[in-house]
Amino acid sequence: MTLVATFLYALLTDRILLVDRGTDMSDLFCEPFPNSSWFLPVDFPQSWLEGLNRSNPYRFGHLIDKGKCSVHVNVSSIPVYSYVDLTHSFDLQDRRFFCEEEQKVLNQIPWLFLRTNIYFVPSLYFVPPLNKKLEKFFPQREALFHHLARYLFHPSNDVWGRIIRFYDAYLSNVDQIVGLQIRIFDPTKTPTENVTSQVFACVLGNKILPNTSNADANEQPWAAHIVRENKVISVLVTSLHRGHYDSVRKFYLHQPTEDGSLVRVNLPSHEGEQRTDKPDHDKQALAEIFLLSFSETLVTSPMSTFGYAAQGLAGIRPWLLTRPGEDSYPNFACMKAFSVEPCFHVPPLFDCDCQGGTDPGKIIPFVRHCEDVRWGLKLSGDDVSETNFSA
């Protein structure tokens, strides 16, 4: 998500994008540009990159006068490079990156080193010159991430092999694929059984999956024949924990479905905990994101970037599970998302004139607050403020 956002910014500002390969980037993806590379050269001094932090004198935020609404850079002394901190904890000065006057200064700096872990695309629409280009380049706003992600990200041979082998074995030759992406950030606050109950309420209440019959299959010798003749649904469960998979599998194993369809339940992995930057773990995570993107229907977890990436690659609006204890939607297990786009979790207030700030979700009709993060922003395909809820 951060690479899509950064590539888009480079595209809008006529810059060349070079990417720090990190620990396993080259093991995850093929190069997206033929006869070229988007990686920094291997001999680029890593220690110098590590020196790009909050205290760096060339940090963009340091160019902003604290307490003043201006950039204190003399045009005759524009620096050769600037470090832009767009991580989730960026300060008030760094947040002025999304202001037109600050962008005019940045446009004169040859090298920008940008560190980010957020999908900051929605806030680019608040910069008038960038807004004009965005409207021209992406008239279908909701498809922005979908098009760029499909263009940029091609899994490595190792990752693609995992995807194809699992797909051929468990997801091919079926009538429908339903993806269930389940992410629990704090098991102490959201027990597995509570989340599983919520998933069932969502998929059964909205007829995403068929309900089961209370009749005893042993008393209906014709039941097995109906199952073989009717629709086959493959359910792909992705989760760090196998409890959700076990519950869904047991539900469909013990009784026939009401409509006679056959439901197969699959779980590619259950690693117990997130192990970011562990090569095999990252490869498996990427493979499962792509597998989810093959779904015709997706159910995703709130605030999960894993789910955002899958729905974006798929190009479909998911059913989004509500957050436990969320006051806004206390009576709903899930809702149909109003957009395919990911959510920008930590957008700044719109305060380029230093007048105290305006809610950024109330300025542009198609930049709206997210369902799962009330203060977040995401692009909408519509200019209306309706959301489809489900019981």
Per-residue model confidence as pLDDT tens for the chain (391 residues): 999 999 999 999 999 999 998 888 999 999 999 899 999 998 888 888 888 888 888 888 877 765 566 665 555 578 888 999 999 988 888 888 999 989 998 999 999 999 999 999 999 999 999 999 999 999 999 999 999 999 999 999 999 999 999 999 999 999 999 999 998 877 777 777 888 999 999 999 999 999 998 755 455 544 444 445 589 999 999 998 888 999 999 999 999 999 999 999 999 987 767 777 788 889 999 999 999 999 999 999 999 999 999 999 999 999 999 986 654 555 689 999 999 999 999 999 998 888 878 899 999 999 999 999 999 999 998 654 433 323 3
Task: For the chain, give the secondary structure using H, E and C.
Answer: CHHHHHHHHHHHCCCCCCECCCCCHHHHECCCCCCCCCECCCCCCHHHHHCCCCCCCCEHHHHECCCCCCECCCHHHCCCEEEEEECCCCCCCHHHHHCHHHHHHHCCCCEEEEEECCCCHHHHCCCHHHHHHHHHHCCCHHHHHHHHHHHHCCECHHHHHHHHHHHHHHHCCCCEEEEEECCCCCCCCCCHHHHHHHHHHHHHHCCCCCCECCCCHHHCCCHHHHHHHCCEEEEEEECCCCHHHHHHHHHHHHCCECCCCEEEEECCCCCCCCCCCCHHHHHHHHHHHHHHCCCCEEEECCCCHHHHHHHHHHCCCCEEECCCCCCCCCCCCEEECCCCCCCECCCCCECCCCCCCECHHHCCCCEEECCCCCCCEEECCCCCCCCEEEC
Torsion of CA 118, 56, 13, 42, to 10 degrees: -80
Residue among 184, 179, 183, 231 nearest 203 (CA): 179
Please report, as a single letter, which amino acid is at residue 103.
Q
- Distance between CA atoms of 318 and 146, rounded to whole angstroms? 14
What is the model's pLDDT at position 325?
A: 61
The contacts of residue 355 (CB under 8 Å, 6+ apart) are: none
What is the model's pLDDT at position 226?
A: 47
What is the model's pLDDT at position 76?
A: 59
What is the model's pLDDT at position 275?
A: 74
Q: What is the number of other CB atoms lying within 10 angstroms of the CB of residue 359?
A: 12
Q: Quick check: 7 and 152 in contact, CB under 8 A?
A: yes
What is the model's pLDDT at position 347?
A: 93
pTM: 0.89
